[in-house]
Amino acid sequence: MPSLSGIHPGLFSSADKSPNAKFRANPSGNGRYRFGLDYTLLRVCLIGGLIGGGLCSPPTAHTPRLVIGIVIDQMRADYLRRFSYKRTGGFRRLMEEGLVYWNCHYTYFPTYTGPGHSSIYTGTTPAYHGIVANTWYERSLGRLYYCVADTTVRSVGTSYPVGQRSPRTLWASTITDELRYASQFRSKVIGIALKDRAAILPAGRAGNLALWFDSRAGAWITSSYYTDTLPSWVEQFNAQRYPDSLLRLPWRLQHTRACSDESPHEGSIGGTTSFPHQPTSYEELVMTPAGNWLTFRLAQIAIEAEKLGQRQGITDFLAISLSSPDLVGHIFGTESCEIEEMYQVLDRQLGEFLNYLTWRFRREEVLVFLTADHGAAPTPEALVEKGWNAGRYPEKALLAEAQAYLRSMMFLPDTLRPIEAFLNQSFYFAQGLSPAQRHEAATLLKHWLLRRAHITHVYTAEDLAGPGGSSYAFQMLQAGFLPARSGDLIVVYAPGWIEAEGYAVGTTHGSIWTYDTHIPLIWWGGGIRGGSIYTRVPITAIASTLAFILRTPLPSAAFTPPLQEVIEQWRLPRFDEEFHGGR
C-alpha cells in the first residue's frame, strides 16, 4: 500500500493548510516566477501609477502554448458566490484575475453531461453535433444507446467492457479537432475525466488520448480507439494505487457552513446520510473530493509526461472535467453540506493546480477557461417546505397511463405497446406503428398531456422539425432536437419539477429552466486582466472564441460569434507583428 505523500494535505484532514505552500519555491531552482509581473516591478508600477501603459502594460499574447478547459460537472452559476471561498483558493483567484461572464447559459434541451461537453467544444447545439442526451432510444437497433458506446473498440487498461467507448456518435468537429487539423496534427489533445463521456467528447474525433476512471478496477483506462496500450505514465500512476489508500480515509466536514447536515431528502455514502462518510468502494470514493484530486493529479502528470505546452510553436490542449461534484449533487442535493464541502475542498484543489501552472508557464503561454456542463435543480422538498411549486414527477405512472390512453383511443390490442420508450422527457413510439398511426398518436398524446398538472409545454417531432417558433420553450427544444435520435413527443415539466424515477432523493438536471442552464464562465491567462461581464452569452461562444485566439478554422457547425472581450484582452498581435512585416 503506498503512502499518502503527495496527496493533497487538506483533502480529508482538518488542518487548514495553504495550497500555496507546495509551489511557493520554484522546483526548477531558477528563481523565476513565470506567471504575471515580477513583484519588484509590480511595486514600481503601483507607486508610479504606470499600470495600463508602457512598461507595466499587460504583455502581448501570441497563440498560447497550452489551452486548458476545466469543466465542473453540475456547477450552478450561483455557486461562485454562495460559498465563502478563501483568498488562497482557486475560485477567488480566477474571479479576481480572470474575466468572468456572470450570465452564461445553455440554449437547448436537455441539459445533460454528454450534450453539455459536446456543445462547449463544438460551439453548437445537439441539433447539429448529434449528442442529444447521455442515452437515447436508437430506433435502428430497437434499444437504448449510450452516447459514447462503441462495440468495435476494446478496453485498454481494464478487463471490463467499460473501455468500449469512442466519439464516433459526434457529428460536428470540435475546437480540439480543428486545432489538430490546423497544426497538421502536431498539436496534442488529451481529455481527462472520471466519466468516460466527459473525457471523450471534448477531445473530439481527432484527439490523441482520452482517459477515464474504471470504478470497478480503481484505475484510469482508455480504449483502442486511441491506443493499443496505456501510456507508461498512466500505468505508473495506476500502479501507485492511490484509490486504495484514499479508501481508508473518511470524508469529514471541515468548513464553516450555512447548511443542515440532517435532511430526510438526501442519499448516502458508505451507508450514512451525514458526515463523516466512509466510502466502501471505488464507486463511492469518486463521490468524494478524492475524485477531483485524482483528476487534477493525473492532469498535472499528463502535462509533464507529454510535455504539453512545452514545444516551440505548437499549441496543445488539455480538456479536464471534474465529475465528483455532479455525483454528490445527485445524491445529496444543492442545499446539502456535502455539496458545500465538495466546493470548499475543490477551491483548495483548484488553487493548487493554478499554482502549478503559475510555476510551469509564463503568463502568455497558457489560456484557461472554466465552466460547467449544466446546473442543477434545487431539491424539490426543500422548496416545497418554503411554499414553492416543486416536486418529483411520477414518470413511471405517467408512461403506464399514456400507454393505456393510446390503446383506448386508437383501438389497439392490449398486447401492443404504442410507446416503445420514455426517457429524457421524450416519448418514442413503437416502430410497428404506421406513419398515419404515429401522427395520430402524437396528436392525441400531446393534447392529453397538456391537460395534466405541472406540464407546461408539449411538442411533437413534426412541430420541432418545422419552422422556428418564438417562444422560449420551443426554441430550447428545437435547438436540441435531432429527428434520427430524439423522441416523437417531448414534454416540458413546470419549473421546480424533476423526474422521480432514479431520483427519489437529492436532485438532478436536464430542464430548460435557468437553474439548469445558468453556469459559470471564467477566462484566465495571457493578457486577460480581469473584469465582470453581465451580458447574457451562450455556452457555444467558447469554441468560436478559442478558434480566433488559436488561429484555427471554426468548428464545422459553430454559429455563435466569439466573445469580443476575451479576444481584446488576450491582446493578439497586430497583423504586421504576427507576420514580422512580411508580405
Q: What is the pLDDT of residues 179-189, one digit of tens each?
A: 999 999 999 99
Rounded percentage of the chain residues whose pLDDT exceeds 70: 87
Say yes or no to pLDDT of 33 above 70: no
The single residue of 88, 107, 111, 113 carrying the catalytic annotation is 113
Say yes or no to pLDDT of 57 above 50: no
Do 554 and 124 touch, CB atoms closer than 8 A? no
pLDDT tens digits, one per residue of 479-488: 999 999 999 9
- 3-state DSSP of 117-142: HHHHHHCCCHHHHCCCCCEEEECCCC
Query: Among 77-86, 107-116, 191-200, whose mean pLDDT is lowest?
Result: 77-86
CA distance 462 to 439: 9
- Sequence-ordered alpha helix ranges (H) in 240-394: 242-246, 282-285, 290-305, 324-332, 337-360, 380-384
pLDDT tens digits, one per residue of 120-146: 999 999 999 999 999 999 999 999 999
First to last CA, the chain: 62
Query: What's the confidence (pLDDT) of residue 3?
Result: 33
Say yes or no to pLDDT of 250 above 80: yes
Query: In the predicted model, what is the mean pLDDT of residues 163-192?
Result: 98
Residues 6+ apart with CB under 8 A from 60: 364, 527, 571, 572, 573, 577
pLDDT tens digits, one per residue of 409-420: 999 999 999 999
SS3 172: coil
Query: Residue holding cell 419539477?
Result: 497
Banded pLDDT at 84 (limits 50, 70, 90): confident
Banded pLDDT at 41 (limits 50, 70, 90): very low
Do 257 and 341 touch, CB atoms closer than 8 A? yes
What letter represents residue 271's amino acid? Answer: G
457 phi and psi angles, rounded to 5 deg: -145, 150
User: What's the Cα-to-Cα distance from 568 to each of 99, 470, 528, 544, rounded to whole Å?
Assistant: 11, 33, 8, 14
Say yes or no to pLDDT of 324 above 50: yes
Query: What's the confidence (pLDDT) of residue 575?
Result: 60
SS3 145: strand
Banded pLDDT at 541 (limits 50, 70, 90): very high
423 phi and psi angles, rounded to 5 deg: -155, 160
Query: Among 309-323, 446-460, 502-516, 561-575, whose mean pLDDT is lowest?
Result: 561-575
SS3 267: coil
The verdict on whether omega for the bond into residue 126 sits within 30 degrees of 0, i.e. cis, is no
Query: What's the confidence (pLDDT) of residue 261?
Result: 76
Banded pLDDT at 350 (limits 50, 70, 90): very high
Arithmetic mean of pLDDT over the chain? 89
Query: What's the confidence (pLDDT) of residue 383?
Result: 96
Query: What's the confidence (pLDDT) of residue 578?
Result: 59
Banded pLDDT at 255 (limits 50, 70, 90): confident
Say yes or no to pLDDT of 32 above 60: no
What letter represents residue 286's amino acid? Answer: V
Banded pLDDT at 46 (limits 50, 70, 90): very low
| CA neighbor of 351 nearest in space, from 69, 10, 19, 97 | 19
Most distant pair of Cα atoms in the chain: their distance: 86
Query: What's the confidence (pLDDT) of residue 530?
Result: 87
Over its C-alpha atoms, the chain yields an Rg (Å, rounded) of: 24
Greater pLDDT, 275 or 256: 275
pLDDT tens digits, one per residue of 257-306: 778 777 889 999 999 999 999 999 999 999 999 999 999 999 999 999 99
For 219, the enclosing helix (H) or strand (E) is strand 219-223
Banded pLDDT at 468 (limits 50, 70, 90): confident
What letter represents residue 417's amino acid? Answer: R
| CA neighbor of 217 nearest in space, from 296, 173, 145, 162 | 162
Banded pLDDT at 61 (limits 50, 70, 90): low
Query: In the predicted model, what is the mean pLDDT of residues 363-384?
Result: 96
**Bridge pairing between strands 537-538 and 99-105:** parallel
What letter represents residue 184's amino acid? Answer: Q
User: What's the Cα-to-Cα distance from 416 to each of 227, 538, 566, rounded to whole Å?
Assistant: 46, 43, 56
Query: In the predicted model, what is the mean pLDDT of residues 112-121?
Result: 98
Say yes or no to pLDDT of 576 above 90: no
| CA neighbor of 154 nearest in space, from 223, 108, 105 | 223
The three cell numbers of residue 98 are 480572470
Rounded percentage of the chain residues whose pLDDT exceeds 90: 82
Banded pLDDT at 23 (limits 50, 70, 90): very low
CA distance 270 to 374: 27
Query: Residue holding cell 513583484?
Result: 39
Query: In the predicted model, what is the mean pLDDT of residues 564-568?
Result: 95
SS3 402: helix
- Catalytic status, residue 113: yes
Query: What's the confidence (pLDDT) of residue 44?
Result: 38
CA distance 14 to 107: 41
Do 164 and 171 touch, CB atoms closer than 8 A? no
Do 20 and 355 touch, CB atoms closer than 8 A? yes
**Region of residue 483 (left: phi > 0; alpha: psi -120 to 50; beta: else):** alpha
DSSP for 52-118, written as a single string? TSGGGSPPP--S-SEEEEEEETT--TTHHHHS---TTSHHHHHHHHSEEEEEEE--SS---HHHHHH
Query: In the predicted model, what is the mean pLDDT of residues 74-87?
Result: 92
CA distance 351 to 92: 9
Cα atoms found within 13 Å of the Cα of residue 67, Cβ hemisphere only: 33
Do 238 and 221 touch, CB atoms closer than 8 A? no
pTM equals 0.91
Banded pLDDT at 19 (limits 50, 70, 90): very low
Query: In the predicted model, what is the mean pLDDT of residues 67-83?
Result: 97
Name the packing angle between helices 196-203 and 113-122 (round to 10°).
20
The three cell numbers of residue 522 are 471564467
CA distance 300 to 397: 48
Domains of the chain listed by start with CATH number: 21-381+513-578 (3.40.720.10), 391-494 (3.30.1360.150)
Do 90 and 348 touch, CB atoms closer than 8 A? yes
Say yes or no to pLDDT of 215 above 50: yes
Query: What's the confidence (pLDDT) of residue 263?
Result: 85
